[in-house]
Chain A
Amino acid sequence: MNIHEFLVPPAVFCQRTGPQDRIVMSSRVRLARNLRKLPFPAWAKKPDRLRLLEAIQPAVESLPQMDPHFSAAMDDLTAFDKQILVERHLISREHAAKGAGSGFVLNREETLCVMINEEDHLRIQSLRPGLQLKACWQAIDELDSTLETKLDYAFSPELGYLTACPTNLGTGIRVSAMLHLPGLVLAEEITRIINAANKLNFAVRGLYGEGTEALGNVFQVSNQMTLGESEPQIIERISKALNQIIEEEENARSILLEKKPKVVFNHIGRAYGVLANAHTISSKETMNLLSLLRLGIDLGMFAQLDRSHWDEIFLLTQPAHLQKQFTEKLGADERDILRADMLRERLRTVPRPQPPK
């Protein structure tokens, strides 16, 4: 079975809902783990990496939590396959760049996936829609506890789990949530929020992680410190910060609606106008306008459009997911035309936005 047959179709994928998913698009917990005394992936020679993969991949595949699964070596996946996985947030862009000696294992529900020989020997991820950090932690903790009986983890009582980069040392945990914050962006409050989060030692990044821009007003908030605090403490701390940001976003939206309703309706109406009528549109412009459309949905301005519908459009307009709908290989210009065709078709039966009553 190839990865395209394994992954659930976008329409099904986007039916998933979770707590606070009006603002929190998804939650993720990642653990970094390594094997004792063996060279970390970046320092390991290719034969070492292949041996490591040979040892780790079957151990991961044998986990009851990963049954059934999709499992592959990165050199068995095409650039297109990898891009699909990046757009689904199942692998990092760094991992997509890996070839022989790296691997990937994903469970049926697409809630647990393991990157083998990314920056560390293992990067285990637990994913959930909406704000579900505790559930993510419970699932990943259980998986990790089973895996530790099969692999000889590098662990020091004083320093915890030993990682390639000392910034991940200790718990090796990265807890993150993907937030949609159009209200704070429109109210020009987002810089203040990002600075406040940074002061609390949380990182704020764009849609695809490290060094990416916040396309579509989507921001990823994650912890940076991994040593000196337990996993539940870290989750508790970031949950508090996230709830504050959610509250700020809701506040920003109410204030905008109260003080500058015309500005808000204008943005949303124009976004609808372009998306429903364009004949060529880039992925970047699409994401930014779709963000406003989603805000319109949240505000009750679209009678016939719901969030799962929106999620599907958002995913299907990403370059690889768009390409997947066509057999012939598309150039960027052709993609922009076909993206616009698809958006016009999808929005054909959606009446234009009405100010909320």
Chain B
Amino acid sequence: MLCNVCKQNEAKVHLTQIIGDKMQKVDLCEECSKEKGVGDPASYSLAELLLGQSLPTDEAAPEAAAAPETETKCPACGYTQADFKKAGRFGCSECYITFADGLGTMLKTMHKGLRHTGKVPTALQQAREAVQKLKTLQKRLEKAVAEENFEEAAQLRDEIKRLKDKAPA
């Protein structure tokens, strides 16, 4: 596999980033990854940045290749890329998913970082914490089962069930 940037060297660094609901993969050679600072976790989003729109996205790629002429339209509000170029503003919140390609490049010129680190709505925060707790319990359960500690395993199963029942799917 060749490096996405220089397209010459063998790719050694493989990154996956999820933007909105799309997954992007970047493959870089050692030199390019160093040069772009991808090794640094703080600049993780660089992968998306430096390649921007040229990156193939896993699900959109096939259609895009089949019909390169059709302009992307936001399914929620009907906004197009041309509308954005004119107004510099989006049509609705879903546009951030629709026009995710190349968004990072633009945001990089505007902001300190590319990831939100501020306030999170409480309901969402609680849901997130519940997921985290569930993961921890599941790990403990696996361990208990592996160690044939059945009493603890039974307890953990109950706890997991209670947590799952409480949280909406």
Contact = CB atoms under 8 A, between A and B. Distances in A.
* Chains A and B bind each other: yes
Nearest to B83: A43
Interface residues of A, number: 43
Interface of chain A, main secondary structure: loop
Contacts of A230: 117-119
B77 interface: yes
Interface stretch (A127-135, A162-170, A286-294, A331-339): A162-170
Contacts of A155: 120-121, 124
A319 to B, nearest CB: 31
**Which residue among A119, A158, A225 has the maximum number of chain B CB atoms within 10 Å of its CB?**
A158
A154 to B, nearest CB: 3
Nearest to B111: A227
Interface string B98-122: 0000010011001111111111111
A119 B89 contact: yes
B52 interface: no
B87 interface: yes
B20 interface: yes
A11 interface: no
Contacts of A38: 92-93
A259 interface: no
Given A43-B79, A173-B118, A36 B93 contact: yes
Contacts of A224: 110
Contacts of A158: 18-19, 115-116
Contacts of A202: none
Contacts of A145: 122
A156 B117 CA distance: 11
Interface of B: 18-20, 76-77, 79, 83, 87-94, 96, 103, 106-107, 110-124, 128
Sorted from nearest, which 8 A-B pairs have the closest CB atoms?
A228-B113, A160-B116, A154-B93, A228-B112, A227-B111, A171-B118, A162-B93, A43-B91
